Amino acid sequence: MLARRTVTSVRALRATRLLSTRAADILSSLDIPTSVELPGVYDGNWVGNGDIMESVCPTTGEVLARVKTASPEELQHALIKSREAYRFFRTVPAPRRGEILRQIRQALSDKRDALGALVSLEMGKIRTEGVGEVQEFVDICDYAVGLSRMMNGNVVSSERPGHTILEVPNPLGVVAVLSAFNFPVAVYGWNLALSMAAGNATLWKPSPSTPLCSIAVTKIVAGVLEKNGIPGAVAGLVTGGKDVGEAVVESRDVDMVSFTGSEAIGRIVGKTVQSRFGKILLELGGNNASVVMPDADLSVAVPSVFFGSIGTAGQRCTSTRRLYLHRKIASEFLELLQKMYGSIRVGDPLVSSTLLGPLHNTTGVNIFTDAVKHLRDSEANILTGGSRYSETPFDKGNFVQPTIAIPKSVDPTDKIWSTETFAPVLCAAVFDELEEAIEWNNAVPQGLSSSLWTRDLRNMGKWIGPSGSDTGIVNVNVGTSGAEIGAAFGGNKSTGWGRESGGDAWKQYVRWSACTINFSDEAPLAQGVDFSV
Cα(344)–Cα(334) distance, rounded to whole angstroms?
16
Sign of CA dihedral 129, 131, 135, 138: positive
Q: What amino acid occupies position 514?
A: A
- Read off the amino acid at residue 225: L
CB 258 within 8 Å of CB 500: yes
Cα separation, 208 vs 122, whole angstroms: 11
Q: What distance in Å separates the CA atoms of residue 150 and residue 480, rounded to the nearest whole number?
A: 30
Answer whether 68's CB lies under 8 Å from 184's CB. no
User: What is the per-residue burial (b if ≥16 Cβ within 10 Å, else e) of 462-494?
Assistant: bbeeeebbbbbbbbbebbbbbbebeebbbbbbb
Beta-sheet strands, E only, within 354-484: 381-384, 403-406, 425-431, 446-447, 449-453, 473-476
Give the DSSP H or E segment for 138: helix 127-147
283 is catalytic: yes
Q: Would you mind telling me the total number of residues written for the chain in this entry?
A: 533
Task: Find the catalytic residue in 74, 122, 263, 283.
Answer: 283
Tell me: cis bond preceding 349? Omega within 30 of 0 counts: no
335: Cβ contacts below 8 Å, ≥ 6 apart: none
Instruction: Report the alpha-carbon distance of residue 113 to residue 143 in Å, rounded.
Output: 21
Residues labelled as active-site residues: 283
